[in-house]
Structure formats: C-alpha cells, structure tokens
Amino acid sequence: MSRSSTHHISPKRSDAERNRAQILKAARAAFADPDADVSMAEIARQAGVGSATLYRNFANRRDLLEALYVGEIDAVCEAAKTIEGTGPAAVLEAWLRRFYTYFTSKQLVATELLASSGPDAPVFGAGYSRVVSAGQPLLEAARESRQIQGDLTIEQILDMVVAIAKIPGDDDYRAPILQAALEAIRKPTAA
Amino acid sequence: MSRSSTHHISPKRSDAERNRAQILKAARAAFADPDADVSMAEIARQAGVGSATLYRNFANRRDLLEALYVGEIDAVCEAAKTIEGTGPAAVLEAWLRRFYTYFTSKQLVATELLASSGPDAPVFGAGYSRVVSAGQPLLEAARESRQIQGDLTIEQILDMVVAIAKIPGDDDYRAPILQAALEAIRKPTAA
C-alpha cells in the first residue's frame, strides 16, 4: 500500500539472495583453486545449499559460468572508479595493470565459457564493450592532463595489453614487456 | 684431381639447381597470390618443369613448404645484415619492422606448414633461433650506443612484435600500436 512497498524485501527474497551470493562465492573459490573440484554438486556442497536451490539459481553450468564471468568484468570496471594513483596517467596505468592481472590469472571461467559458448557469444562482446567504456574516461583524463603521448585509442591500448598477456612464458618474462608498453603511452617526465 | 674439383659445378648440377630455383620462385609467387592455384601440379606448370622433376626436388608438399618457410626466415636474417638506418637504434627498428611485415603478410606458407607439421616441428624452433641470433647483434649495437632504454632481451622484443602482429584488425589499427611499442624501447632523444 505504501509507496515503499516495491522496495520491500521479504525475508524469503533475502534468503534467495543470500543463497545466490553463497553459490557464487563458493564457485569463485573453486575456480580459483587449480586443485578444487568444480562440479556443480561440489559447488552446492561448498555453498551449503541443496542441489535444487543451486539449479533454481543457475539452470545449468553455463549459466553459472556466465554469472562468474560477468562478476569478473564487473570487478575490472569497478576498479576503474576506485583505483588510485598519483595523477591521471598513474591511475590509467594502475587500471591497465589490474586488467592485465585479470587476463593473466588462471582464467578457468573464461576458458570453459569460451569452450562451451564460442568466442562470438554475446556475453564476451558485452564484456569487452563494458571494459572499453570503463577505461575510456581514464584515458581521456590522462590525455587532458597532457600526461599521455601518441593517440592510441583505449581499444588499441587494451588490445596491446591483451596481446602481451597472451605471450607464452612466465610472468617474470612478460612483466618487463608490459612495463615497456605502458611506458610507451606515458609521456616521459622531464628529468 | 685438382683441389678445386669439389667446387666444380657440372652442367647437369647447374640444370638441377636452376630447376629447384624455378620451382621455389613459382611456389613463392603462387603462395603470395591469394587467388592462385597452389597445387603441386600448377606449381610445376608455372615453374616450367615436369612433375617428375618437381618430386625429385621436393618429395612432397610439406618438403616444398619447409623450403619456402626456410627461405622466408633466410630473408629476415639477411635483412639484419643489410638493412639501413641513421644509427644503431634506427637499424634495429627498421629490422623489427621488416620482421613485423613478414609476420603480418599473408602467411599461407607458415599457416599450412603449421597445420601439417604442428607447432613443435623442429623447423619452427630452428627458424625462431635463427631470427633471435640475427637480431641479437642489432640490439647489442643499439644498447652499446646508448640509444635504447630498458633491458628487454631480443626474445622479449621479438615476442612483443609478434604479439602486436597477431592483434585482430587491419594494419591501420595495428600500426600505431607497433609504433608505440618501438618507441618504448628507444631512448627519447633530447628535445
């Protein structure tokens, strides 16, 4: 009856949300651990929910994987708003490193989703668009403050970071390449 | 009988060498033309040799592909000795661009060889080692003349160039990324 009734959260709804959050948390932990069992049954067990509750939230494994992937993209986009640095170019660089870390960390979720949905699945295109939109203001701020050289677009910069993230070898080998690439877009500070 | 006898090239040997060269030339031209017929029969026809001569030189298609691939690597390595530039850093950069051009040009030969021989075929490892060896002196010269910043190895620089060459999109999109990466390793000249 009251105007706030649409915002009213019933105890039941709250339970449902908590269940969903627990499932995602358990699934994230499982996928982050290379030795973990990432079966649906084990994820339900770790989340402390029954199989029926799991499948009411995620009709199949791919739905769960998509939700995890979207959550990872959410975190990268959220970082664009919260990440800190001494000036706009440092903020951009810190965020690009955050994106690189996402891309070089064990990408079991994205890899399995890619295998089951294919590279043209809408979820990937949407994820890419959101990362581009999140990075765009950081690049603009750095460019406006004249701390950036060249005129690469955020798409070109992100593609360069992804390309470096994909170079075979360990991170000790790749990190200096990323470092060089990030220095390339930053204007050298006067000595 | 004379000491030079081992260097003596008989007319017959000379014919054989000419045939081989003509086959390779015809095959190179065929693989460079996206509309060309690259069948063994058509390559023999274009080279003006019979099928028996073709197969005496290259027992099968893969042997021919390997010879073409080795020839491409030869050209990249040879360029390291002949390419010009205003100073060691410019020479290194020009050669890296030459390598990039090889990598972004229609790589029908390498692609077909990869499909038939697999990525672990010795021919690829040998090719990579030769390119590394060819580039090493150019990087050392540029570093000795203090025109290079950072301490990337030639392997890291080549991997960066390859990673950029593999970025999807057309060359207008990729070229500025390569430009930025090459500038990253070159020490900024004093203004």
pLDDT at residue B89 in the model: 95
Nearest to A163 among B163, B173, B184 (CB): B163
pLDDT digits (tens, 9 = 90+) for B91-116: 999 999 999 998 888 678 888 888 88
Which residues in chain B are contacts of A169 at CB distance < 8 A?
159
Which residues in chain A are contacts of B160 at CB distance < 8 A?
164, 167, 177, 180-181
Report how many Cβ contacts below 8 Å link chain A to chain B: 62
pLDDT digits (tens, 9 = 90+) for A56-89: 999 999 999 999 999 999 999 999 999 999 999 9
pLDDT at residue A106 in the model: 67
Burial class (CB in 10 A: 0-12, 13-18, 19+), A162: middle
Q: Give me the interface pTM, i.e. the ipTM.
A: 0.79
pLDDT at residue A12 in the model: 63
Which residues in chain A are contacts of B166 at CB distance < 8 A?
163, 166
- CB pair distance less than 8 Å for A163 and B167: yes
Mean pLDDT of chain B: 89
What is the maximum span of chain A, computed from C-alpha positions, in angstroms? 68
- CB pair distance less than 8 Å for B180 and A150: yes
Whole-number Å distance between alpha carbons of B33 and B30: 5
Residue A139's CB is within 10 A of a number of other CB atoms, namely 22
Q: Which of A156, A172, A187 would you mutate first to test chain B, the one with the most B CBs within 10 A? A: A156
Percent of chain A residues past pLDDT 70, beyond the cut:
91
- CB pair distance less than 8 Å for B164 and A163: yes
- CB pair distance less than 8 Å for A180 and B180: no
Q: pLDDT higher for B190 or A185?
A: A185
Q: Which of A160, A179, A186, A189 would you mutate first to test chain B, the one with the most B CBs within 10 A? A: A160
pLDDT at residue A4 in the model: 47
The string over B139-168, giving b where at least 16 C-beta atoms fall within 10 Å of a residue's C-beta and e elsewhere, is: bebbbeeebbbbebebebbbbbbbbbbebe
